[in-house]
Homo-oligomer: A and B are copies of this chain.
Amino acid sequence: MSKAVILLSGGLDSSTTLYHAAFRGHDCHCLIFDYGQRHKKEIIQAKAIAQSRGCQSVCVKISLPWKGSALLDFKMAVPQNRALDARGVPVTYVPARNIIFLSFAASYAEAIGARSIFIGANAVDYSGYPDCRPEFIRAFQAMLKRGLKSSLEGKNIKVCTPLIHLSKAQIVKLAVKLEVPLELTWSCYNAGAAPCGTCDSCRLRAQGFAQAKIVDSALKAYC
């Protein structure tokens, strides 16, 4: 089994990515971040999801004291019922978040001898974050090739994005096929007892389930 590092946030996309990588036979090492986000719920759920697949996880605590995002600065409001096809990058964008997350993943992968990093980035039904797009992933991959010792030794670490070209409905169907415990996943940006249903993340998820004609078991679990 080849080792892989999986970026796991506890949401639908990263959980499906973990189950996909495990299904493909990887020995999955999950990397979870406590980065000052609005709530710890997604961290708790991420750990539970890793455990559900029998994978080990490590949670790294980091701080971004400069904030610059509604997910970090609690004085800023998370947009509600924003048009999902709105242009521009929303205020929930966290400066360089995926760049930082992938950088830690590269460090972890190199230290344990993993040759793959999996990230659930998606560029179809998404919020327009620049660090979810294929051109960013390609550029990050090229950068790793120049910056890691393992690359000098001819052992490149590959960044895998199995969901990048899927619609949210296709991701939902894949999750069901892979038996992802959907009731454990948490996508909402807010910290309520149940998902708010109005943030971008809740609405993209709901749209995906509706288009896939599948009932979201998480809604039943939390509500």
- A residues with CB within 8 A of B: 58, 60-68, 89, 93-100, 103-104, 106-108, 110-112, 129-131, 133, 135-136, 138-140, 142-149, 151-152
Contact = CB atoms under 8 A, between A and B. Distances in A.
A103 B112 CA distance: 21
A61 B103 CA distance: 15
Q: How many copies does the complex hold?
A: 2
Contacts of A94: 107
Contact of A111 (B68, B89, B130): B68
B103 A99 contact: yes
A98 to B, nearest CB: 7
A89 B147 CA distance: 12
A58 B62 contact: no
A107 B68 contact: yes
Q: Which of A67, A138, A152: most chain B CB closer than 10 A?
A: A152
A144 B108 CA distance: 21
Contacts of A133: 146
